Amino acid sequence: MAKNLLIVESPAKSRTLKKFLGKNFDVQATVGHISDLPKSKLGVDVENDFKPDYVMIRGKSPVIKKLKEAAAKADVVFLGPDPDREGEAIAWHVAEKLRNHKKMVRVTFNEITKSAVKDALEHTREIDINLVNAQQARRILDRLVGYKVSPFLWKTITGGLSAGRVQSVALRIICEREEEILAFIATEYWTIDALLADKAQTEFRSRLSKIEGEKPQIDNQIKADGICHELRQSEFIVEAIKKSQKKRNPPPPFITSTLQQEAAKAFYFSPKKTMMIAQQLYEGVDLGEEGPTGLITYMRTDSVRVAETAVTAVRDYIKDAYGADYLPKEPNRYKSRKGVQDAHEAIRPSYLDHAPDSLKKYLTRDQLKLYSLIWNRFLACQMSPAVYDTTSIIIKAGKYQFNSGAQALKFDGFLKVYQEYVENGNGNGESEILLDKLPDLKEGDKLTLKDLFPEQHFTKPPARFSQASLVKTLEAEGIGRPSTYATILSTLNDRKYVEIKERRLFPTDLGKTVNKILVENFPDVFDVKFTAGMEANLDQVESGAEDWVNVLREFYKPFSSRLEGLADKQSDIKDSLTEKTEEICEKCGSPMVIKWGRNGRFLACSAYPNCRNTKPLENAGETVHVDEKCPKCGSPMIIRSGRFGKFIACSNYPECKTTKSISTGVKCPKEGCSGDVVEKRSRKGKVFFGCSRYPDCDFVSWYKPVPTACPACGHPFLTERYSQAKGSYLACPSCKYQKTSEQEEEPVEVSDKG
């Protein structure tokens, strides 16, 4: 009989731990939380110091029964849920259920290795009630906001909506960026490049950077042409040459937010997917004869601290694998940002004898991608800087100054194994041209002007958030914590407050309306600074510097007063969202109006409740006909809209229910197939294009085909693409041809991974 019981959160983690612990340990899993606030009511006594009414989560009765039976047979119960606020709360709830047991201790481990587990079991502690209170305060705050504000949305917009204390602030950030973009007015500006040559007629380009010592302000073609006219009469002379070496230091090891950002840029992983895979790598992957093995340290952390034993091990690895030149004399040290709790190490591999290549047959494709990313980043953080030889040249042409620069990699350093991915921004121009190589020039050299290239540009609005850039913004603003970033984004998407198109976050009409109502009526609660301050207060509770009840009391008093003040205004707010139309109700002759419902906006008779006529908004006004007859009844076919997008349907509905997908006008490219490529939608609502003969033909494309043959390779169609930098354009799916000269917005990887 096992003398000890170790209780963890997940079955996968328990399997990994069992191989270290032997026969004296029984390892059981809670499978997440066992207790929570009830779903059917508020579950918080606001009049009695916010006392929570915890109930057992549905379906957890067998789990608790099993834990009690195992605890009764054990001398010591080790409470080992994850080492964070949520894990501490789970340990606390388990302890409550097993409170009659004679000995229970808390145990935590940052990595699931034999040495870490052994050390943790030798250094147990009591449950940290400050951590529990911090989690409890967060849970109650979220419940108060969700259960008090959500009904307000039901009464002002429509039923079924919900508000979240942190998610709604993230929605506000997205909506405000959208407003910036829509309000943006492009400004014209011009750049002027000169094609110059030295005495040996070696040509290079240089950009106009100053006019009489000031940054150029060229806002129309007349000014650009005037400058070009003067430049053609000017003598170009090298005024100054500066040569130097530039060091590029390696990035710090991953924390939760940077891992999510990099995985999104590199692999298009959502934060939710990144954390799911990271959890698998942390809890343990079956490595054949070696059995379940935890491959990375705990993945919810905001600290860049690395254990000294791990630093020593990775430095030895770097020296053996890459040589002494790649190892700095002293370990690289990194500082965590202000306010970090520093409870856990940075994210790193648990073992340095498990290189990614050696695990290919054990890991899924996505597991290998993420593990390789973590592995390479950890190696890089303790490697030497990359070194570049740089040259900067200033060229004078009368009152005009031109600049050129060159940069050549002299020593790759950490770039040997790792290169950060770059996500394109709005690209509003640079004042210097950076070349790979410049001619061997000297100060005072006269240059020959070969040509001038004036080019018109327009300033671009700020880029919409990607999932990576939103996580970065949330972290910078102090919104959320490592354990919440993934949930924030997935919740907004699940609620259909935002949609993801071309890897960018767009607020939906519903999201914009919800945000408008929340910001106008709860300006403080859903304010960025207020929410960041609340996160800081929760950190104070965790450290024991603040009482959790006081934090809740200071929040709830003004919050409840605000709610009471809005009670009489709900009807007026709802009316303000009603839009008038010129449509007339065919049943009673009253005007039709646009209202919000559970499935979005719809047309309703303004004479409600006397007239209850409603119809889909998409069918308002003129019906869109297609030049086609129904194959079953001969009635005209029309274009309708449904929950999965537009489709062609018989106008004689509901008597005739014939429907078909809208063709793109492109024939299926698969050899021998006679089908058409039609627009479809996945179960999650994402648009894609596939063969009309599915399942007989499995052709699919995420990009809309256009019936235009590629002039470069003859491929029968091009596809519509989009990038933030240049908008819509056409590209060939078979070769590199694009209808514009610009490239598609994709992550740019400068060098290969090691």
Q: Work out the end-to-end distance of the chain between its first and last CA atoms, rounded to an integer number of angstroms.
A: 49
Phi-psi region of 164 (alpha: psi -120 to 50; beta: other; left: phi over 0): beta
Q: Are residues 184 and 374 in contact, defined by beta-carbon separation less than 8 angstroms?
A: no
Q: Are residues 678 and 662 in contact, defined by beta-carbon separation less than 8 angstroms?
A: yes
Question: Could you write out the three-class secondary structure of 606-644?
Answer: CCCCCCCCEEEHHHCCCCCEEEEECCCCCCEEEEEEECC
Q: Are residues 379 and 391 in contact, defined by beta-carbon separation less than 8 angstroms?
A: no
Q: Count the neighbouring beta carbons within 10 Å of the beta carbon of residue 264.
A: 26
Strand 51-52 with 236-248, pairing: unpaired
Give the torsion sign (CA, 91, 92, 95, 97).
negative
3-state SS class at 353: coil
Cis peptide before 654 (omega within 30 of 0): yes
Q: Are residues 192 and 236 in contact, defined by beta-carbon separation less than 8 angstroms?
A: no
**Which tokens belong to 728?**
């819509």
How far is 592 from 605, CA to CA, in rounded Å? 5
How far is 184 from 558, CA to CA, in rounded Å? 36
Beta strand extents in 37-128 (DSSP E only): 44-45, 51-52, 55-56, 76-79, 104-106
Beta strand extents in 495-539 (DSSP E only): 498-501, 504-507
Closest by CA to 261, choosing from 489, 479, 77, is: 489
The residues assigned a catalytic role are 298
Q: What share of the chain is helix, strand, coil (3-state, %, to 5)?
A: 35, 25, 40
How far is 474 from 528, CA to CA, in rounded Å? 9
Dihedral Cα 363, 365, 366, 369, nearest 10 deg: 90
How far is 361 from 330, CA to CA, in rounded Å? 36
Strand 4-8 with 25-29, pairing: parallel
The DSSP output letter for 725 is T
**Which tokens belong to 148?**
């008090």
Sheet holding 591-597, edge to edge: 579-584, 591-597, 600-605, 614-616
CB-based contacts of 564, cutoff 8 Å, min separation 6: none
Number of H helices, E strands in the chain: 17, 34
Question: Could you write out the three-class secondary structure of 54-68?
Answer: CEECCCCHHHHHHHH
Q: Are residues 356 and 372 in contact, defined by beta-carbon separation less than 8 angstroms?
A: yes
Burial class (CB in 10 A: 0-12, 13-18, 19+), 288: exposed
Q: Count the neighbouring beta carbons within 10 Å of the beta carbon of residue 194.
A: 25
- Angle of helix 485-494 versus helix 467-477 axis, rounded to 10: 130
Q: Are residues 664 and 707 in contact, defined by beta-carbon separation less than 8 angstroms?
A: yes
How far is 687 from 122, CA to CA, in rounded Å? 55
How far is 277 from 280, CA to CA, in rounded Å? 5
